[in-house]
């Protein structure tokens, strides 16, 4: 039952983008087309789950036992950056089509604050490793749901007559606000 609550909470109630405002840069920057939104979602999901596992192990096996918890943020940033580089190198050799499909999304993930935010939240919420993996995967799904929905709306906005002063970023921010309000409807669910 607790896993179901983690999933529903991470995807709908506490959506990482629309409720906690992490990952706004890729949310606004990569959401002009659904295809790029799907690519970013796949890359974020992959890296987020792996980064959560590695940072959880670093926290529990290195930082906590040696009293170095104050180095959490900097060590997590280094682990995530190294992990993204490692994933990029491995994908380039093992699966060139997947590497080309992810393209620019892998380097963008290094600066995506949702990855670091989820890694830190799993420690703050005192989740075990399995719960941390479920939480990170669910958060990535919530990120993807928000991103792909927003991309679909933005594609439709290209087809309508928006007033000149509202084109581009202004209407995108208004739509993002309305999308966040829609997700607030799930607030009493969990």
pLDDT (tens digit per residue) in 125-134: 999 999 999 9
Mean pLDDT of 99-114: 76
- 142 pLDDT higher than 80: yes
Q: How far apart are CA 106 and CA 142, in angstroms?
A: 19
pLDDT, the chain, mean = 89
CB 48 within 8 A of CB 23: no
Q: How far apart are CA 51 and CA 110, in angstroms?
A: 11
pLDDT at residue 1 greater than cutoff 70: no
pLDDT of residue 33: 85
Residue 102, pLDDT above cutoff 80: no
CB atoms within 10 A of CB 125: 11
């Amino acid at each position: 039952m607790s896993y179901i609550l983690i999933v529903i909470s991470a995807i709908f109630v506490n959506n990482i983008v629309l409720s906690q405002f992490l990952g706004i840069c890729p949310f606004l920057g990569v959401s002009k087309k659904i295809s790029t939104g799907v690519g970013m979602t796949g890359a974020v999901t992959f890296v987020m789950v792996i980064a959560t596992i590695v940072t959880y192990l670093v926290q529990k096996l290195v930082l906590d036992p040696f009293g170095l918890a104050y180095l959490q943020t900097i060590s997590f940033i280094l682990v995530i950056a190294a992990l993204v580089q490692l994933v990029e190198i491995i994908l380039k050799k093992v699966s060139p089509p997947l590497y080309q499909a992810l393209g620019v999304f892998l380097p963008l993930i290094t600066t995506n604050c949702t990855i670091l935010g989820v890694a830190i939240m799993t420690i703050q919420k005192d989740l075990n490793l399995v719960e941390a993996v479920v939480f990170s995967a669910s958060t990535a799904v919530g990120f993807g749901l928000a991103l792909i929905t927003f991309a679909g709306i933005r594609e439709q906005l290209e087809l309508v007559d928006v007033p000149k002063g509202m084109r581009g970023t202004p209407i995108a921010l208004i739509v993002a606000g309305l999308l966040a309000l829609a997700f607030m409807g799930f607030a009493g669910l969990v």
